[in-house]
Structure 1
Amino acid sequence: MTESTRSEAAAAVPVLTLNNGVDIPQLGFGVFQIPPEETRVVVGDALAAGYRHIDTAAAYRNEAGVGAAIAGSGIPREEIFVTTKLRNGEQDSPRAAFEASRQALGVDWIDLYLIHWPVPSQGLYTQAWKELESLYAQGLIRAIGVSNFLPEHLDELLANSTVVPAVNQIESHPTFHQPALAQKSRSHGIAVEAYSPLGQGRDLDSGVVTELAAKHGATPAQIVLAWHLGVGNIVIPKSVTPERIRENLAAAAITLSPEELAAVSALESGQRIGTDPAVAAFTQM
């Protein structure tokens, strides 16, 4: 892929402006469950394809590979949006955890830093948030946010904070897109970011999705990603296959009509794939 082609692919991805004025590419690349030893090559492939938003986490243990790919890409650092996350077991020491992530990534700043899970049984997330606010005020983080926060967690955080989270990253895919939580987040100016955006592949066989894929000359995955973009989600699909990495990025060129978006949204079943944030209590250490 030539440099001009990479630039065109990156330019085709829509950009959302977060509640603090920071721009984020709406379609990014996730690295959950990519083995550390493979991460540099896979993220390098994603950057070469045109992705300019990479989502990792300390708990994934592959931040160093992400950083190595960024350093070796030849792309200016300011053109790549980097997200990482605070581990559950480090909510009592977020500043040290942040510095460890920053060092692993080999960057001077992190674009978006999230509390990975609320872990309500610990009772630490509001305390951790105050430290994130301090790091944000120092300019070490361009935006701060949360992940897996349910309405009650958002209410508690908002009642005890100065900075409104920029993002709430949640499990979201056609059969489980948590419309009430998404609406709650957006009502406070908090952008919704979707992980497991394809339902770990389970949502791709739906008749609605396959019919739209045939109609648009697209893959089912591209239709689901186009749906996410159409309803306003930030979305971070993952793949380790170069062809699939490029196909996912090409979803940015697909526009679904309001009726088509509604048809996909109607697949909501209330069936979660991942852990319920109300009871999640693992340390990730």
Structure 2
Amino acid sequence: MSGKRGNGEGSIYLYRNGHAAYVWVTKPDGKRARKYVYGKTREEVHDKWIKLHAEAKKGPVATSVPTLAAYLARWVKEVVEPDLKPKTAETYAMHVRLYLTPGLGDKRLDKLTVRDVRTWVNRLLDECQCCAQRKDARRDKPRCCAVGRCCRQVASRRTVQDARAVLRSALTNAMTEELITKNVAGLVKVRSGRKVQRKPWSVEEARRFLEAAQTAHDPLYAAYVLILVLGFRRGEVLGLTWGNVDLEGGGRRNHRSTPAPAYPAPVGP
């Protein structure tokens, strides 16, 4: 049996501190080109060389693969914006800008692993986004992360799930374009987020807040009183109309009466 390689099989050779090999492949645009693999030992390169041969026989093979950031930018422009409704496209682009590109953008598309995605998901659930996105540093008067008082503004589990869904959609398109063979985002689940331990205001802190709001003639002062003193939920306060308020009787009524003045008299704590 002849030991000569067939046409297009490429070769293995010494390269720097190891070995390299190439195989002639057909690119997605139909043109022929060399694709290279590298490794420290001849055996390592030989294994990669065999796999590359198998890929070349199955169909087109990309000879250059972009970073995830570069691919996502093209995907949003060429796929998301033309195909989806404007609001949906805007949401996709927001997740790419705030979460995907900063967290995974420097990874090469075909080198992205399940472990990379899982690490990114877990970090999103735990990391303060005010710090990560430098929100406080852009404020005229920094008040939390930029001055060393982290506000722990972590992303909700729903937000992380949505960001991962956007990544999964992008990688599905990359598979369609034959840039990758596996969607690693589909293999990662989002764990339950950690509950943030909240520290409620003391009576003295609530009193000082109400006094400051009253002194400043804050138009929402009455709403603050309803929430802090009577325990109203936000939805209950926002759903309250003038027709349901009896300023003279100090309670609620179910029938509409004479409209109240634009600014109600302050209500003491």
The structure whose Rg is larger is 2
Q: TM-score, normalised by structure 1?
A: 0.22
Give 1 or 2: higher strand fraction.
1
Larger relative contact order (CA 8 Å, sep ≥ 6) = 1
Q: TM-score, normalised by structure 2?
A: 0.23
